[in-house]
Structure 1
Amino acid sequence: MQQLLAPIYSFLQCETPDSWIEEAKKPEQLKGLLIDHCNCELKAAQTAMFLVRKYAIDKQSGQLLLDWAKPYENFVYIKNRDIGVFLSKGSKKNELSGELVARKDFAHSDDLIQKMVRLIKEEFHHFEQVLEIMHSRGIEYQNVRAGRYAKGMMKQVRTHEPATLIDKLIVGAFIEARSCERFAKLAPYLDDELKKFYISLLRSEARHYQDYLKLAQAISVTDIGDRVAHFAAVEAQLICSTDQDFKFHSGAPVLNVTA
């Protein structure tokens, strides 16, 4: 595991603050973290799907992706959702129903499709895995608004192409790397089921961050080192500074100090 995590620690400019770990390992925080984690897995799949639809495929292929996402989005966006019914539909819902046609006017279409489709499938699977754990523990799914972390990163994305795409891929790399780092940090303090589950996620999360980074560099005509350094500094500031809202990717928790 240490060999797997070494590149993550080199990539990130800081480790998760001890104060976040101390708060996260409190039993009363588990429900909120699982709900937020579940939301994060779905958002990761949706973000990757957006990138493929916008940059890499034709309109008809875009509909194939929307159809793939439909069972998941129907579940999360309806009021009278039933976790048991959703999970009983099995793994067939996590399948792409046709072949995606790559756009010819974007040189990296095939690479973007290959890496992101694999990521989407894994993120949907992780969403279901977290949901199943929640269901077994009597925790209802809830929609969660985006926290300061994701918003703070996206504010730094440039607004002209291909810089927009490159920056979004770099942001994706940091989000995946931070997820991997936090799974590893938190796992030792969890019960056996969750510990085993979070450790099982490390390899895919580590690969996701590398895929995002490789795509960003392949698309850029110049070295992305400066942009990676920029986002590393922004990400570290968001992680190390205090955050009013406690989430899976939040910063240091605000501690209640009584006189």
Structure 2
Amino acid sequence: MRYNRAPIGFTLLTMNDKTGTMAQALQEIHDFLPCVTPQRWIDNALANQDLMLIDHAHCEKKAASTALSLMYRYVNNFDLLNKMSRLAREELRHFEQVLAIITKRGVEYCHLTPARYAACLRAAVRIDDPGRLVDVMVVGAIIEARSCERFAALVPFLDEELADFYSSLLKSEARHYRDYLALAEKANGGPVAARVEEFTAIEKQLILEPDNEFRFHSGPVG
């Protein structure tokens, strides 16, 4: 079964966005990312919602773990420590919320093999600092931006409970994207457009090329 893709503006009609703040944030993310999520991935997600929720829970847990790891590595970077501390708390709260939905729906939470997405992006990260920190922050910004874009793309097609939940995540995901990008620019001492261009070129391939198994950050399957 195929579902017609709603434009991002239609998604905004499902949210209380009287000030237009969310519309602006989503447009910024749309401009930052190299492509939109393919329709075929949307179809995959809607046909595999239990799997999507399980992998989403894993993604939230991994995001919190990444933030904590960065806090341990960069102990003298107070801006990073504050931003990552808040991010880790929010991601773990999101994990709890997804887990509650999974439990309510009678879905068995289980281990999943990860998508190739994050590993392929991180493979291009430089080894030594400050380049390493810049690249890790750019990768974090891309992952958060893509998560936000996919939540927004899915909202019009989901049941009310899940649509409301995914809508509620957009604001924090957009802020996480901005926090990572700001930390990248600070570590670089200026704009990071060249690194963003390099990593988004990799990301575009990962999003558009077919994958063997469906995951929240996979390419289309089938």
TM-score by length of 2: 0.88
Structure 2 portions without partners, runs of 5+: 1-11, 13-22
Q: How many Å separate the matches in 2 of 1:50 and 1:133? A: 27
Residue 188 of structure 2 corresponds to which residue in structure 1? 220
Q: Which residue of 2 aligns with 1:87?
A: none
Q: For residues 81-114 of structure 1, what are the alpha-carbon distances to aligned partners after superposition, in whole Å with 9 as ceiling and x for unaligned? A: xxxxxxxxxxxxxxxxxxxxxx3xxxxx110011
CA deviation string 1:208-245 (max 9, x = no partner): 00000000100113531100111111111110111111
Aligned position for 1:49: 68
Q: Distance in 2 between matches of 1:36 and 1:171?
A: 19
Shift of 1:186: 0.8
2:57 match: 38
For 1:160 and 1:127, how far apart are their aligned partners in 2? 32
Match of 2:156 in 1: 188
Asked whether 1:250 is paired with 2:218, we answer: yes
Q: Equivalent of 1:5, from 10, 26, 32? A: 26
- Equivalent in the alignment of 2:36: 15
Structure 1 residue 22: deviation in Å? 1.4
Structure 1: unaligned runs, 5 residues or longer: 57-102, 104-108
Answering whether residue 175 of structure 2 is matched by residue 156 of structure 1, we say: no
- What value does the CA root-mean-square deviation take over the aligned residues? 1.0
Which whole-Å deviations, capped at 9, do the CAs of 1:46-87 have from their partners, x for residues lacking one?
Answer: 00100010112xxxxxxxxxxxxxxxxxxxxxxxxxxxxxxx
Alignment of 1:127 with 2:95, yes or no, is yes
AA aligned opposite 2:73: K
Give the equivalent residue in structure 1 for 2:17: none
**Higher gyration radius (CA):** 1
Worse-matched range after superposition: 162-171 or 200-209: 162-171
Q: Which residue of 2 aligns with 1:231?
A: 199
> C-alpha deviations, 1:14-62, integer Å up to 9, x for none?
0000111112112xx0110000000000000000100010112xxxxxx
- 1:4 offset after TM fit, Å? 2.6
Distance 1:145 1:214 in 2: 31
Between the aligned residues of both structures, percent identity stands at 50
The CA distance in 1 between the partners of 2:188 and 2:50, in whole Å, is: 41
Paired residues of 2:33 and 2:200 also in contact (CA < 8 A)? yes
Within-5 A mapping of 1:2-151: 2-26=23-47, 29-56=48-75, 103=76, 109-151=77-119
TM-score by length of 1: 0.76
- Shift of the alpha carbon at 1:141? 1.5
